[in-house]
A and B are shown apart, each in its own frame.
Chain A
Amino acid sequence: MKHCTATIAIAAALAAGAAHAENREVTVASWGGSFQEAQSKALFEPAEKAGFTVKQETYGGMSDVRLQVSTGQVSLDIVASGSGSAARAGAEGLLEKLDYSVIDVSSFYPNLYSDYCVGGDVFSTVYAWNTDTYGENGPQSWADFWDVEKFPGKRAYRDKVAGALEPALMADGVAPEDVYEVLSSEEGIERALNKIRELKPHIDVFWSSGAQQAQLMKDGEVDMTTGWNGRFDNAAKDGAKVDYSFNQALLDYDCFAIPKGAPNKDAAMAFLAEISKPEYQDDLPKYITYGPTNKAAYDTGEISAEVASGLPSSPENAAMQLPINLEWYAEWEQVAAEMYQEMLTE
């Protein structure tokens, strides 16, 4: 795979060489798996026609960036990140400020870019269920996910706090719009944790990655799990008996950031400007069911109405969901994560 993309990169660079005098090289790190494959096909490879030579890597998240920045050995120009960890890394001083006079975000959704990270795709944290176990009448709310009488069966849940407390509160009867208000105190976090403790005897696995969510559902190891919608769509394409709902799901986005001291900072900024254009963003849903962050991508005609209606960011789906609150994560994630681990080890 890596060799393959490298060859394409060289070929594209040679082809583009004539048209573009300058050859701008950038190193991009992402999460691997079906997610990076989609990014590669929709964003990275096409950008090579615009004169970029793209070297792709996989990485372990912002802790890798922290290590590189703190030792002064920065090798990555661009990293794909979850919005929450990017917000924290930005506040920590690990990221370059993005130059929005270079990157055109005029047609972006206003909350999908920040000082340090520009949105790349919109995804949802959903509940998914085995269609063999529950038929088409699967759970339709977080309360259903918690209801082991109505929906008997084994659950899987996240092993980290991100996206794990909001569902518990909604299952406990808190209205979506009040979730973050309730969570903004240790008592509120404890309330969510108590709700998870209630379900814990039925939680067989605490998953740690997107690939694991798909595997658990594919192998029928659990009957219901939380996870990222695109992973389930790709698992279903592979024959897994899995379905999910957007009702009460958590609307979140992935974004691209530039580590502080990136070797090709200017090229990286230009690269982000390039892949944020609608003509790139409109290709992403072909490979994974994650929506564009640039509204104009819906106007190019590449995204059919049918595809659009299945994306997390379609107006209809978005209206059913709770958008992730990054300020809450910046302020409370550390405390909540420690408390979450308390609950996990009990």
Chain B
Amino acid sequence: MAALGMNADGLRRDERLERLRLFGLSSPALLLILVVLVIPVGWLFYVSFIGANGQFSLENYERMINRSSYRRIFFTTFQVSFLTTGLCILIGYPLAYFISQLPAKLANLCLITVLLPFWTSLLVRTYAWLVLLQKQGLVNSWGMSLGLWDEPIKMVHNMTGTLIGMVHIMLPFLILPVYGAMKAVDADFMKAAANLGASPRKAFWTVFFPLTTPGLFAGALMVFILCLGFFVTPAVLGGGKVIMVSMKIVSNIELFVNWGAASALGVVLLVATVAILWVASRFLNLDQIAGGGH
């Protein structure tokens, strides 16, 4: 008994030491997060409550309630983000499925072409879309010379152009995690489903698709959150008519004497995003998404 008791003490001491060691090992990372994340975000919150006269004030938030443009700008921001995410899923999922069914060599080639746009600056890609889509751009002039349509179609300087540009930029963020999830699905599962009498369609929807949803949600979430803070693409392709929160933050910094006017927008966007994630987490298992696998 005594020996066991000593042993138990020793085990407990080991466990404490182990915990301490783990904490010690992760403390640089914790410190980094504190310095680069917690403190700036805390400061952002603090500054958003400072009025033009340097005193505590709610004026930055009152302004957002009184002026309906703020509501519309938040609406546009979420609208653009939702639509971009939806289009990315519609285009990205089938594409990832197609690539995942290819032989390894061909699949790698396809993945490289998916990743290729990452090697070009975002600004260059955005302006390239402007050149392609404008009234006398390549797409319109080809379409009209081929007789497909007679009048130039308005594809840029509006919501359409913004979405085309953003979907193009965001697609890789969706395809990669989805592709990863698809490759992780054991091919025998599908064979087993077929063996048990499921049609290919049924096997896909009841076996394959559910197994790839964590990857899909991970990709969709990443696309959605990146979209919320987008600036360059809507600014260039939206023609000044698609105004997102990031653009309003810039104009508030130019317009008002204090940083609070801009910080308050950041705070509201952050809170709204966290709220959406929280709602999403009620329906989805975020841990699983973050783990990306099973």
Contacts and interface: CB of A to CB of B under 8 A. Distances in A.
B69 interface: yes
Contacts of B256: 334
B241 interface: yes
A201 to B, nearest CB: 12
Contacts of A344: 69, 240-241, 243
A345 B256 CA distance: 19
B134 A221 contact: yes
B76 A208 contact: no
Nearest to A208: B240
Interface residues on A, range: 20 to 34
B239 A346 contact: no
B68 A342 contact: yes
A33 to B, nearest CB: 15
Nearest to B127: A215
A333 B251 CA distance: 13
B27 interface: no
Contact of A220 (B135, B154, B239, B241): B135
Interface residues on B, range: 20 to 34
B253 A345 contact: no
Interface string A269-305: 0000000000000000000000000000000000000
Contacts of A220: 135-136
A15 to B, nearest CB: 38
Which of B135, B137, B235, B240 has the most C-beta atoms of chain A within 10 angstroms of its own C-beta? B240
A187 B136 CA distance: 40
A341 interface: yes
A345 B76 contact: yes
A61 B253 CA distance: 11
Nearest to B136: A220
A274 B254 CA distance: 30
Given A92-B257, A334-B256, A204 B157 contact: yes
A268 to B, nearest CB: 24
Contacts of B136: 219-221
B255 interface: yes
Contacts of B282: none
A31 interface: no
B248 to A, nearest CB: 8
A221 B237 CA distance: 13
A63 B239 CA distance: 23
A345 B157 contact: no
B73 interface: yes
A345 B134 contact: no
B7 to A, nearest CB: 60
Interface string A305-346: 000000000000000000000000000011001100110111
A205 B69 contact: no
Interface string A37-81: 000000000000000000000000111001000000000000000
A345 B254 contact: no
A151 interface: no
A208 B69 contact: no
A159 interface: yes
A309 B210 CA distance: 74
Nearest to B73: A345
B67 interface: yes
Given A338-B255, A342-B68, 9 more contacts: A63-B254, A204-B239, A205-B239, A206-B239, A219-B135, A221-B135, A334-B255, A345-B68, A345-B73
Closest 4 CB pairs of A and B: A206-B240, A159-B240, A205-B239, A345-B72
5 contacts: A61-B254, A334-B256, A338-B67, A341-B251, A344-B241
